[in-house]
Structure 1
Amino acid sequence: MMDTITHTLFGAGLYKASNKERMNKKEKYALLFTAIGASQIPDSDVISQLWDTAGYYQMWHRGITHSVFLVPFWALLFYILSWIFFKVKDVKLFYTALIGVFIHDTSDVFNAWGTGYLEPFTSERLTLGTVSIIDFVIWFIFLISFIVSKTQSSLKEKAIYRTAWIVICLHIFIQSAQGYILYNQYKPGYDHVALSASFVPWHFSVIGKNGETVDIIKDSLITKPALQYRLKSSENSAALKTLFKQNPKARTLYQWSPFVVMVDTKEKLGIYDPRFYKDGESFLFEFMEKK
């Protein structure tokens, strides 16, 4: 997922790029509330972990609340809330919320975490893995925009931030085009391939799986590929059934991930997502202790 800071910056950037010349103070407050709130609202699904007793949270988070089909519903909600809290009824608020939620849902598609973009018609996670979950380039673009807006009084704020949005879209396009090229270079050599963008622009982890072997390769279009890890997956369908029975979260992770690595040792039985593997472990690892 994109981090909370980035989504907040998206909301602030949307507000700054809006034409507010004829708006009074109350209308500006309503617009700010709508832009920031709509840019965050899909992540309200995090509260579902409070009542998750069956291990479904991994699928619930960034699931139906991130569906592109729910965008108009969220936009209508903020239009109504603006009328209730600020007594402002302006169709511009609806369209601002519409854009804010759409940006949130769509930007989440570009990172490795993925999103239920097409729910409820499919529960499959749509993920490209071409943009880092925390993208410092986007932060930097908004920082420069803020500095320019405060130091160059001759330039209109909305023009500065609209330019920033163009640069961000260009950045995401360049990142994704390079990721697409790399993906297609590796695809013929593996049964399954996934991407995970690095924090360093234009650099990626390419994760490929053939049978029981999973390779994690650092690569870019401007450097030579480097094999970082070669992992062994213990493919055992019978053991998986036992794991799923003991740990329902493992079943959810299995459904959620493009593919997994299975660990079957004397001490543990589990699966993990290799896209998040680093220093000998993945932070998305579900297992059971063997007795």
Structure 2
Amino acid sequence: MDSITHTLFGVGIYKSINKDKMSKKEKFALLFTAIGASQIPDIDVISQLWDTMGQYQMWHRGITHSVFLIPIWALLFYLIHRFIFRIKGMQSFFVALISVFIHDTSDLFNSWGTGYLEPFSSVRITFGTIPIVDFIIWLIFLLSFIASKIYPKVKPYSIFRIGWALVVLHIVVQSIQGYLMYEQYKKTYQEVALSASFIPWHYTIVGKNDHAVDIINDSLITEADMVERLQSSSEKDLHTLFAMNPRAKTLYKWAPFVVVVDDDKRIGIYDPRFYRNGESFLFEYIDKSTLK
């Protein structure tokens, strides 16, 4: 998910806690923990500063998003709570534990995926059923905030707990529909990848058969719309590309499958899940002029 959504998750966790007996210091420390722990796995973005081998695609959402690292992150925030804020008790640990778990697990549902099982598996797990920026989730938290102001007699934590239930319901409904779409297209294509649209209950299906890659917009309530059929030069030897552009090798390992480009000017690969308006923003290539 995007940074705004992760921040909303942190605020939503904080708002869902009964803080009637907490001091201002305790409330501030808990807010810091909820938001900080909801963001901490994305600390891996700093790896761009020393990435000279084109590995960032694997590092981002890699080990920092591992389910096995969740208690380590939670322990870090517990220690901050204990020794910086000087607040005893285990509540901060459990709040951080939940916050990091929600971050890592929610990222599984969009097409970017995560290294959820690293270091024991380098596979990027991705369901593709929720967009990276999900405006429905934003709307639910916005309505929860408005409701907490309109109905001051109702405890805010009760309202935000209802909001969380709606977020979970939204993800479940969206994911069930995505799963049904995926199973439907598995019968037609050798390889299938799913990418959720910003429009609820709508998906982009990317299906590959041999050298042909189809991009289709579809949902359970509309007719399928064939967006484009791409041709992949799958037989092309990519060793030279990988040697001259290490990011291409990383992309090849990271993506479920790629489209290979071999034209008069370039040799390259791109992830068709992010194909928009004639190109994919995840495209790594070399100019053939450099080979002469």
TM-score above 0.5 = yes
Distance 1:159 1:97 in 2: 20
Distance 1:214 1:105 in 2: 30
- 1:64 counterpart letter in structure 2: I
Unaligned runs of 5+ in 1: none
Which of 247, 250, 253 is the matching residue for 1:249? 247
Indicate the residue corresponding to 2:37 in structure 1: 38
Distance 1:30 1:206 in 2: 44
Moved over 3 A (4+): none
Identity %: 63
- 2:27 counterpart letter in structure 1: K
Q: Secondary structure of 1:168's match?
A: helix
Distance 1:202 1:153 in 2: 34
CA deviation after TM superposition for structure 1 residue 276, in Å: 0.2
Alpha-carbon displacement from aligned partner over 1:155-177 (angstroms, at most 9, x marks no partner):
11000000000000000000000
Indicate the residue corresponding to 1:98 in structure 2: 97
Distance 1:214 1:99 in 2: 39
- 1:189 counterpart letter in structure 2: T
Indicate the residue corresponding to 1:140 in structure 2: 139
* Superposition map of 1:46-61 within 5 A: 46-61=45-60
Q: Secondary structure of 1:275's match?
A: helix
Provide the TM-score with structure 2 as the length reference. 0.98
Alpha-carbon displacement from aligned partner over 1:202-228 (angstroms, at most 9, x marks no partner):
000000000000000000000000100
Alpha-carbon displacement from aligned partner over 1:114-166 (angstroms, at most 9, x marks no partner):
00000001001000000010000000000000000011111110000000000
Distance 2:83 2:285 in 1: 48
Distance 1:89 1:117 in 2: 31
Distance 2:160 2:110 in 1: 23
Distance 2:88 2:280 in 1: 48
Distance 2:253 2:215 in 1: 21
Distance 2:281 2:21 in 1: 49
Q: May I ask how many residue pairs the two structures share in their alignment?
A: 289
Indicate the residue corresponding to 1:262 in structure 2: 260
Retained in 1: the 8 A contact 2:236–2:260? no
C-alpha RMSD over aligned residues: 0.6
CA deviation after TM superposition for structure 1 residue 236, in Å: 2.6
Matched, 1:168 2:167: yes
* Superposition map of 1:164-203 within 5 A: 164-203=163-202
CA deviation after TM superposition for structure 1 residue 85, in Å: 2.3
Distance 1:84 1:285 in 2: 46
Matched, 1:79 2:78: yes
Distance 2:21 2:49 in 1: 44
Distance 1:118 1:237 in 2: 32
Provide the TM-score with structure 1 as the length reference. 0.98
CA deviation after TM superposition for structure 1 residue 283, in Å: 0.3
CA deviation after TM superposition for structure 1 residue 19, in Å: 1.3
CA deviation after TM superposition for structure 1 residue 237, in Å: 4.5
Distance 2:33 2:229 in 1: 47
- 1:278 counterpart letter in structure 2: R
Indicate the residue corresponding to 1:22 in structure 2: 21
- 1:40 counterpart letter in structure 2: Q
Indicate the residue corresponding to 1:290 in structure 2: 288
* Superposition map of 1:61-72 within 5 A: 61-72=60-71
